[in-house]
Structures are given as structure tokens and as C-alpha cells.
Amino acid sequence: VKVEPKKDVYRISSDSAFAPFEFQNEDNEYVGIDVDLLTRAAEMQGFNIEFNFIGFSGALQALDGNQADGMIAGMSINDERKKAYDFSDSYFESGIQIAVKEGNDSIKSYEDLEGKTVGAKVGTESADFLIENEDKYGYTIKYYDAADQLYAAVSGGQIDAMMDDYPVIGYAISQGQKLSTPIEKEVGGQYGFAVKKGQNPELIQMFNEALKEMKRTGEYDEIVGRYIKNGS
């Protein structure tokens, strides 16, 4: 089904570094599952997009402040966010997980995080989880704006652990980052494309129509397969 766009160009806000969903390749071009899915959806439905890769919390703020019409950033659909945003059908199943520097054998459970520092990106599901469980486990949370700072802090030993979406940690490990994931992941976290509540409904419709078609033709699997090989 073809939906009519209502704007000449839709401004899309996204994360700045969230491989394999959005990241810069060797030619400094942004690629990734989110980028490819939305770019393809725009081609299929005949609408124009302009990406702005400004970081996760920046992307949320852009949407809130009407500087963006839509946001795609491995954003998890949850009840709290549904109060402020309308989401597309879910396009990826994720979950969050603790990671430590490879070789750090002192952390094997959440209880082992007592007295330790744990990092997360501002405004994310991981940050929310850490805030919720801070008193229970007795760690201190450190916040980062971007993933590169967060991952560097764990590798450099400035923090003891971090929490992020497991496909993103898995991708980092597959790319040679020296991290391990000693604690079972928290399930959930369906990713959705989002607009500000009540705005640009046609954008969500166009994405949903294209997503359905990409799943039907196998193009969805082809796009994901460009970045994620057999479960890692």
C-alpha cells in the first residue's frame, strides 16, 4: 500500500555511534541497519529524508523540540516512551546487558557490582535499568553522551562495567573490542521508529508498509545480514 508523504523532506534524528545500527564506515559515511532500513523505506514509499546523527539523547531532544520529524536510533519501545512518542511496528528484538573489560573476573553477577562504577549512555533503557537497581546492588552510575566515550571508559579502566544493548556489545566484540559479558542479558527491548506523539502519522504508516514489504521479500533479512552474521 502506497501512502502519500505530506512533507518535501522529513528530518530524521539518530544516534552518533550505535554500530551496527548507525555508525561511520571507513569513508566516513553513515551506514547500518537503521540507516539502510529507513533509506530503503523512503525509496519504496517515495518520500525524502535527511539524517542528523546527533547522539541518542540529542536525537530525543530534537524530536521533542520539533527539530526532527522522526527518530530511528535502535530506540526501544516502552510504555513510558509511548506517552510522548508514537512508534512504528517493531523492527528488531534487542535487550540490555552488562559488559566488563575482558579478563576482569571479579564481576560475575549484579551483586558483584557493589561499590563499583557502571556506565551507560544518557537517556537510554540501560541508564533507566541502572537507576532502578542502584540501591539494590550498590554501584555508582556514570553517564556518557556517546558510545565511544562509554566503551573507551571500560577499556581504559575508568569504570568497572557498562550497560548497553547486547547486539551493540556483540558487534563491538566481533570487531575486536576486548569486552566480555559475564551476566545474562535482560530480555525485551523491541526497536521502533518514532515520531512525536500525534505528529507525522503518515511517516509511521509509510515505514510500516515498507517494513512489511521488506520482510515479505526477504530484503529485511538481507539488510540485517549485511551487519550481523549468525547471531553475533
82 CB contacts (<8 Å, ≥6 apart)?
Answer: none
Contact between 13 and ligand GLN per CB under 6 A = no
Q: Which residues contact 199 (CB under 8 A, 6 or more apart)?
A: 69, 86
At closest approach, how far in Å is the CB of 218 from ligand GLN?
25
User: Which cell numbers in the block locate residue 16?
Assistant: 552518533
Alpha carbon 72 to its chain's center: 8
Least CB distance from residue 90 to ligand GLN, whole Å? 12
Question: Which 3 state secondary structure label does DSSP give 166?
Answer: helix
- Smallest gap from residue 34 Cβ to ligand GLN (A): 9
C-alpha span between 5 and 130 (Å, rounded): 40
By the rule CB under 6 A, 196 interacts with ligand GLN: no
**34: contact with ligand GLN by CB under 6 A:** no
Radius of gyration (C-alpha) of the chain in whole angstroms: 18
Q: Among residues 125 and 160, whose Cβ is nearest to ligand GLN?
A: 125
Among 16, 23, 53, 121, binds ligand GLN (CB under 6 A): 121
Residue 215: strand, helix, or coil: helix
Task: Find the shortest distance in angstroms from Cβ 105 to ligand GLN.
Answer: 27
Q: Report the residue count for the chain.
A: 232
Dihedral of the alpha carbons of 9, 14, 20, 23, in degrees to the nearest 10: 90
- Alpha-carbon gap, residue 165 to 177, rounded angstroms: 15
Q: Which of 12, 15, 41, 185 binds ligand GLN (CB under 6 A)?
A: 15
For ligand GLN, give the closer residue by CB, 70 or 74: 74
Residues of span 87-116 touching ligand GLN by CB under 6 A? 94
- Which region, judged by CB under 6 A, interacts with ligand GLN, from 73-81, 134-142, 177-185, 218-226? 73-81
# of chain residues touching ligand GLN (CB under 6 A): 13
**Which range, of 119-127, 137-145, 154-162, 193-201, touches ligand GLN by CB under 6 A?**
119-127
**Alpha-carbon separation of residue 96 from 127, 193, 209 (angstroms):** 10, 18, 28
Per rule CB under 6 A, is residue 18 in the interface with ligand GLN?
Answer: yes
Binding footprint of ligand GLN on the chain (CB under 6 A):
15, 18, 56, 73-76, 94, 121, 124-125, 165, 189
